[in-house]
Amino acid sequence: MRTIILDLFPSIWVENGIATLAGLHDMASESPFDNVRFPELHELPFKKGNPEGSIWGFYEEISGETKPDELGSLNLLTPRRILRAKEEIQIGKVCSLNWTLQKPKPAGYQRMGLQHRVFKWPHGYIYDDEIHMNTQCGTQLDGQFYNGLSIKDLQDEDGNLMQPPEDKPIPNGIHAFQGKIVGRGVLLDYYDYAESKGISYNINDQHLITAEDLNGCIEAQGVALEPGDILIVRMGYVKWYEHASQEERMNILKGPTKAVGIRQGMEEVKWLWDHHFSVVACDAPAFEVRPRVADWDLHDYLLALWGTPIGELFDLEELSQICKELGRYTFFVTCSPLNIFNGIASPPK
């Protein structure tokens, strides 16, 4: 029996069993990105004269394309990897990763939160609603200054920020991600792992998650990472928010941003690079710790130097429960930004 599942939101299928879809891989068209030999981190930049640590020009070299690449590590989500990820689907259980767009409230980093207006038309029983929001105020996918894109490319001759044109694509517009984020997801439930190890931390404090911590979590969960995986790290922020009082939320969200996150260290940079994820995501306000512990961020490497999209404030509570019940932390994921031509970032759907 064959089951076809269509979805319009970030979702996962988790199964308790072993897939037996032999032969499907051969049905997918071959991609030059199926078997990529990446340079070591210390060998970067890929092209002389580019910023240290950058992979700019690598994907064009592999594919033979002359047009500058805009997908970065999303190139790794090839038809064959997607079909292998399909093997995760066996019982068809679905879980949305979208958090309610009104949360957190107030939105972090002084961004405008979602404003929702419902109104009735003058005639008949017709109701509409409108929303106005910053695209990075809730569950979000970040845009990226990848492959040489400069702030100057978004400014006019006087240095003023230009409004994105409606008839001409700008490099790395969020619309380029349409239909590209489909593959095998892996949850690293650091929050649960820390609890099992007696590691106590405040979600809204500068708690550093290190590469060593992530390796410990991998070992405890018994997962094996593969190139092109969609990495999702549960840190516990959404759980805290949902169980906190409104007074507790306001006291935290109105102050300086402090939150658990991945440490900004070269050990963590190397860990991320060596695993070659297609996307990384978490349930915290930022993928890395706040306040940061270096004068740079993992955003700089992931988004700008490698072209790896970052998802933040994903709701991982139901997902973590299902994974723990099944003892399985891999699943099939689809995720897409809103189709906003030349958008900078977007809530996923």
CATH number, residue 84: 3.50.30
Phi, psi for 187 (deg, rounded to 5)? -95, 125
User: Rg for the chain (alpha carbons), in Å?
Assistant: 21
Task: Name 326's Cβ contacts closer than 8 Å, sequence gap at least 6.
Answer: 14, 15, 16
- Evaluate whether residue 62 is within a structural domain: yes
Report pLDDT for 107.
Answer: 84
What would the mean pLDDT of 335-349 be, rounded to a whole number?
Answer: 90
In the predicted structure, residue 6 carries a pLDDT above the cut 60 = no
- Evaluate whether residue 125 is within a structural domain: no
What would the mean pLDDT of 224-231 be, rounded to a whole number?
Answer: 98
- Evaluate whether residue 33 is within a structural domain: yes
What would the mean pLDDT of 165-170 be, rounded to a whole number?
Answer: 82
In tens, the pLDDT along 111-128 reads 888 899 998 898 888 999
- Evaluate whether residue 242 is within a structural domain: yes
Coil, strand, or helix at residue 129?
Answer: strand
Band the pLDDT of 141: cuts 50, 70, 90.
very high
In the predicted structure, residue 169 carries a pLDDT above the cut 70 = yes
Band the pLDDT of 155: cuts 50, 70, 90.
confident
- H helices, E strands: number in the chain: 10, 12
- Evaluate whether residue 138 is within a structural domain: yes
Report pLDDT for 90.
Answer: 84
Phi, psi for 337 (deg, rounded to 5)? -75, 165
Question: Considering the chain, what is the average pLDDT of its residues?
Answer: 89
Range of lowest pLDDT (80-94, 220-234, 259-273, 303-317): 80-94
Band the pLDDT of 10: cuts 50, 70, 90.
low
Band the pLDDT of 26: cuts 50, 70, 90.
low
In the predicted structure, residue 172 carries a pLDDT above the cut 70 = yes
- Evaluate whether residue 116 is within a structural domain: no
Which amino acid would we find at residue 97? Answer: L
Given a contact cutoff of 8 angstroms between Cβ atoms, the answer to whether 12 and 319 are in contact is yes
Q: Which domain holds residue 66?
A: 11-107+133-335
**Percent of all residues in the chain with a pLDDT value above 90, rounded to a whole number:** 70
User: What is the number of structural domains in the chain?
Assistant: 1
Looking at per-residue confidence, does 121 or 220 come out higher? 220
- Evaluate whether residue 61 is within a structural domain: yes
- Evaluate whether residue 345 is within a structural domain: no
What would the mean pLDDT of 284-305 be, rounded to a whole number?
Answer: 96
